[in-house]
Amino acid sequence: MKINYILLLAVAALWSACSLDEPEVQIQDNDFPFRLQIDEEGADLADAEDYKVEISFADYLGELPSAAITLTYELSGEGDFSGAVIDEIIYEYEEDDCVFEREMAFTDQTITIPVDADLGTVPEAFEIVVLMNEAEIDASDSEFELIITGIETTDNVMFSDANTFAYEILDNDMAGEWILELTTESEFLDFQNLFGTISTDLAALTFAEITGEVKFEYAFEEMKIEIEQVEEEEVTECEEGEIETEMENLIIEIEADYDAEDGEITYEGSYFTEDAEELDFIIEATYSSDADDEVVMTFTSIIDEDHFESGDELFTGNTSFTLIKD
């Protein structure tokens, strides 16, 4: 036992000496390259005319590059989108709470990210507007793909390994915008009893404080519910140096990811409690339709993912609403 103890002390001393001899490693922030990234996929309704593909810089340290960057790309379409082309490339510059939209130069093979005269650097993000359905027909079996094939720059900038954006038609049953009219206090209370569990703002409202119009908007993998209030607010916007002020109804929003298939739909999102604690929720529902412009949606449960045990659902039952296509 005594010998083993001495050996242990010797090994510990040797390890300590080696550790002290190791050089310090100092990370140089300016050694990290800037990295451009592209949205990888998207979708819109069958009659959508164009689509905006965003390219942006990932999180970075210091100032963005002050020299122009050239990207090479390939754009190809299939079906009704075989003639897909870039229509324009735009980015935004903000000054004194006013937004100015500016364009980038491009050819059929290259995109030039310029140094903005006001920023002194390249912009942080920009959108490539792809025109794929100028006639706005109800396209079918159509898609397009935008691939960034190369980057030329004098600065330490690279493009993400994920360099391809793929677009398909958004063809799930719920795609688009739907309107729910709450015409009676009873209908409102049913709606509030359901969604008030994940919206403290909605839970605090009365029937007299809403206009009765509720909008359900289903986009690519994401949806939102907008509850319009009677109360209005003054909204001032400034674009291209033009200031516009108008009155708009206050809106309460509920947002979630969703998956709809074969008459079943699941929503996943987060909400804040009265104590400002952020919690995750899951909503389960079914839907059915006897007409193209109408759907009956039946909500069966809402659970809190973070604090859930069987019997502790935020909501359980069968509450149905009829949504009309907008």
Q: Is the pLDDT of residue 141 over 70?
A: yes
Q: What pLDDT does 11 receive?
A: 38
Q: What angle do CA 110, 113, 117 make, to 5 degrees?
A: 145
Whether the CB-CB separation of 248 and 235 falls below 8 Å is answered with: yes
- Residue 260 contacts by C-beta under 8 Å, 6 or more apart in sequence? 172, 173, 174, 218, 287
Instruction: Read off the pLDDT band of 71 (50, 70, 90).
Output: very high
Q: What pLDDT does 308 receive?
A: 65
Q: Is the pLDDT of residue 272 over 80?
A: yes
Instruction: Give CA–CA dist 24/265, Å, rounded.
Output: 55
Q: Is the pLDDT of residue 3 over 80?
A: no
The residue among 40 and 11 whose pLDDT is bigger is 40
- Residue 308 contacts by C-beta under 8 Å, 6 or more apart in sequence? none
Least trusted range by pLDDT, from 7-16, 30-39, 242-251, 294-303? 7-16
Q: Is the pLDDT of residue 10 over 70?
A: no
Whether the CB-CB separation of 121 and 115 falls below 8 Å is answered with: yes
Q: What pLDDT does 282 receive?
A: 95
What's the whole-number average pLDDT of the chain?
90
Q: Give me the residues paired with residue 309 across strands.
A: none
Q: Is the pLDDT of residue 15 over 80?
A: no
Q: What is the mean pLDDT of residues 279-292?
A: 92
Q: What is the mean pLDDT of residues 105-124?
A: 97
Q: What pLDDT does 290 receive?
A: 84
Q: Is the pLDDT of residue 14 over 50?
A: no
Q: Give me the residues paired with residue 260 across strands.
A: 265
Q: Is the pLDDT of residue 294 over 70?
A: yes
Burial class (CB in 10 A: 0-12, 13-18, 19+), 183: exposed
Whether the CB-CB separation of 198 and 192 falls below 8 Å is answered with: no
CA separation, residue 217 to residues 243, 296, 323 (Å): 28, 15, 11
Q: What is the mean pLDDT of residues 169-175?
A: 93
Percent of the chain with pLDDT over 70: 89
Q: Measured between alpha carbons, how far apart are the two ends of the chain, in Å?
A: 84
Dig out the tokens for 80 from the structure. Answer: 């009704």
pLDDT in tens, 16-65: 443 334 445 454 555 689 999 999 999 999 999 999 999 999 999 999 99
Q: What pLDDT does 2 receive?
A: 36
Q: What pLDDT does 24 receive?
A: 53
Whether the CB-CB separation of 225 and 180 falls below 8 Å is answered with: no
Instruction: Give CA–CA dist 135/292, Å, rounded.
Output: 22
Q: What pLDDT does 4 receive?
A: 43
Return the H-helix or E-strand segment holding 302: strand 294-304
Alpha-carbon Rg for the chain, nearest whole angstrom, is 27
Least trusted range by pLDDT, from 168-177, 255-264, 302-311? 302-311
Q: What is the mean pLDDT of residues 62-85?
A: 97
The residue among 285 and 10 whose pLDDT is bigger is 285
CA separation, residue 147 to residues 25, 44, 68, 98, 104 (Å): 38, 19, 20, 33, 18
Instruction: Read off the pLDDT band of 69 (50, 70, 90).
Output: very high
pLDDT in tens, 183-240: 999 999 999 999 999 999 999 999 999 999 999 999 999 999 999 999 999 999 999 9
Q: Give me the residues paired with residue 113 across strands.
A: 69
Q: What are the phi and psi torsion angles at 7 (to 5°)?
A: -60, -40
Q: What pLDDT does 12 receive?
A: 43
